């Protein structure tokens, strides 16, 4: 079984000499061959189903729901309030979900109970949100959506370091990337198509996510772990671990920063695209009908880069060049609408960002799996690093609102997003233990 690829003659010592960098789980659950292919086939729709929620709701359905509830004058501030509080909830829920699942002992394993319970909770809250008619009610339901789906996705993300061989993680990450990014972009299209049927959209999203996640755990059952010793749950240790330690685990810290900055670059603009199309590009009421075109341009970039880059990083035994280049491309592409403030400029940006983010999604997850601090707490550590993905998605409208309402207006969004992308690339360059 091949471990992570490292420099053969120079640079840092191999991961086997670094006790804080795991290669495979302490208790082996690794699958290969047909079971691994079956797990990949089920993982893609499971991740896609939850990504549909994050693609359709914050930037389209929630934005429209808030706009129709409070009116044009208060839409920006109200959306910022709901997404900011939701982001705080997500930031806490991810690592807590991981820590709890790491310590769970059951006949269904440590991940399955939380994956299923999380999807049921998130889906139910999403349906309740569809029937909410005030900002406080929407806010409360949105918080439970975050709690539920983060409790599902934290343990679901831990399946890769739990059960996928290191040498196959680029391919597996590419499958997850296709599911996640495809779901995000298809969610935008779904949100636009069902703009006049928001409650129906929420019901459909909830039903699909519960179904896809249930299929994954049923077809790929985890083994019982009731005989595995349980580590004590220490709240103080969990609080200290909410953010990666730059000295104890520097590589884990830098991949966290790289993901945080790259996702912030991506969602700062694309998470606010409806209002950008309405007000910056000047499409007004026509903006909602153009969202599917943006999603299509993004898919055209994402598909080839994700399919090629993940497996190619496995073949070459290198992760960093792909992640660095893709983060930089995401950032630089954000400047296109600043120079060309038209629908054509937005479509060009969406395609280039798709190329970059598809590669990033296809390789960064594999890179992260090789720098996790502990073999015994994969889900907790992935929950921590997933904060770097969840937080920008939820906070983007709030950050964008602060920028747009400032003196720079919409024009300031694009250089701000570009700066975050470049910072993400620089952060990944600091990783030492993985090529």
At 220-264, the pLDDT tens digits run 988 887 777 766 666 665 555 566 777 788 888 898 899 899 988
Which domain does 406 fall in, by range?
A: 33-223+245-429
For 276-319, where are the alpha helices, taking DSSP H only?
287-316
Predicted pLDDT at 105: 85
Stated pTM of the model: 0.70
pLDDT for 344 equals 94
Cβ count near 423 (within 10 Å): 19
pLDDT of residue 380: 67
In a domain, 202, yes or no: yes
Residue 114 within a domain: yes
**For residue 141, what are the contacts with CB-CB under 8 A and spacing of at least 6?**
125, 126, 128, 129, 132
> Is residue 13 domain-resident?
no
- Give the three-state DSSP class for 110: coil
Q: How many domains does one find in the chain?
A: 1
Q: What is the DSSP letter of 167?
A: G
Is residue 245 within 8 Å of 404, Cβ to Cβ?
A: no
In a domain, 349, yes or no: yes
Give which of 235, 240, 346 is closest to 283, Cα–Cα: 346
Are residues 224 and 106 in contact, defined by beta-carbon separation less than 8 angstroms? yes
Which pLDDT score, from 0 to 100, does residue 232 have?
66
CATH for 295: 1.20.1250.20
Q: Return the number of other C-beta atoms located less than 10 Å from residue 196's C-beta.
A: 9
The answer to whether residue 193 sits within a structural domain is yes
Angstrom distance (rounded) from CA 213 to CA 157: 12
pLDDT of residue 240: 59
Cα(413)–Cα(399) distance, rounded to whole angstroms?
A: 9
Is residue 10, in this structure, part of any structural domain at all?
no
Residues of the chain scoring pLDDT < 70? 1-28, 230-243, 374-380, 383, 393-395, 397
Which pLDDT score is estimated for 241? 57
In a domain, 20, yes or no: no
342-398 per-position pLDDT tens digit: 999 999 999 999 899 888 877 887 888 788 776 666 666 776 777 777 777 666 767
Q: Tell me if 410 sits within 8 A of 274, measured CB to CB.
A: no
Question: Residue 11: inside a domain, yes or no?
Answer: no
């Amino acid at each position: 079984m091949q471990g992570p690829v490292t420099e053969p003659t120079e640079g840092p010592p191999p991961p086997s000499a670094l006790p804080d960098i795991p290669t495979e789980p302490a208790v082996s659950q690794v699958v290969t061959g047909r079971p691994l292919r079956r797990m990949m086939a089920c993982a893609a729709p499971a991740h896609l189903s939850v990504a549909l929620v994050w693609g359709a709701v914050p930037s389209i359905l929630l934005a429209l729901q808030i706009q129709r509830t409070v009116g044009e004058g208060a839409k920006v501030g109200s959306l910022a309030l709901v997404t900011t509080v939701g982001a705080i909830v997500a930031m806490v829920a991810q690592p807590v979900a991981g820590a709890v699942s790491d310590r769970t002992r059951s006949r269904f394993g440590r991940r399955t109970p939380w994956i299923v319970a999380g999807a049921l909770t998130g889906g139910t809250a999403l349906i309740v949100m569809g029937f909410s008619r005030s900002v406080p009610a929407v806010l409360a339901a949105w918080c439970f959506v975050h709690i539920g789906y983060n409790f599902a996705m934290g343990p679901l993300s831990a399946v890769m370091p739990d059960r996928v061989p290191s040498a196959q993680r680029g391919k597996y990450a590419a499958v997850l990337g296709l599911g996640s990014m495809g779901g995000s972009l298809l969610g935008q299209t779904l949100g636009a198509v069902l703009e006049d049927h928001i409650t129906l959209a929420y019901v459909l999203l909830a039903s699909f996510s519960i179904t896809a996640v249930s299929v994954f755990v049923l077809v790929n059952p985890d083994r019982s772990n009731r005989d595995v010793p349980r580590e004590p749950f220490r709240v103080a240790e969990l609080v200290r671990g909410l953010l990666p330690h730059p000295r104890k685990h520097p590589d884990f810290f830098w991949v966290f920063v790289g993901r945080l900055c790259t996702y912030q670059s991506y969602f700062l603009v694309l998470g606010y695209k409806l209002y950008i199309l309405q007000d910056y590009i000047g499409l007004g009421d026509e903006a909602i009908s153009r969202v599917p075109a943006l999603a299509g341009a993004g898919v055209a970039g994402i598909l080839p880069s994700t399919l090629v880059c993940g497996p190619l990083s496995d073949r070459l035994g290198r992760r960093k060049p792909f992640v660095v280049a893709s983060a930089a491309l995401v950032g630089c592409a954000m400047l296109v609408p600043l120079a060309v403030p038209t629908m054509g400029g937005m479509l060009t940006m969406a395609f280039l960002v798709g190329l970059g983010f598809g590669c990033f999604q296809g390789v960064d997850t594999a890179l992260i799996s090789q720098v996790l601090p502990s073999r015994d707490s994969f889900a907790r550590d992935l929950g921590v690093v997933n904060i770097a993905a969840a937080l920008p998605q939820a906070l983007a409208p709030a950050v964008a609102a602060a920028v747009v309402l400032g003196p720079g207006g919409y024009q300031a969004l694009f250089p701000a997003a570009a700066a975050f992308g470049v910072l993400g690339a620089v952060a990944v360059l600091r990783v030492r233990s993985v090529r």
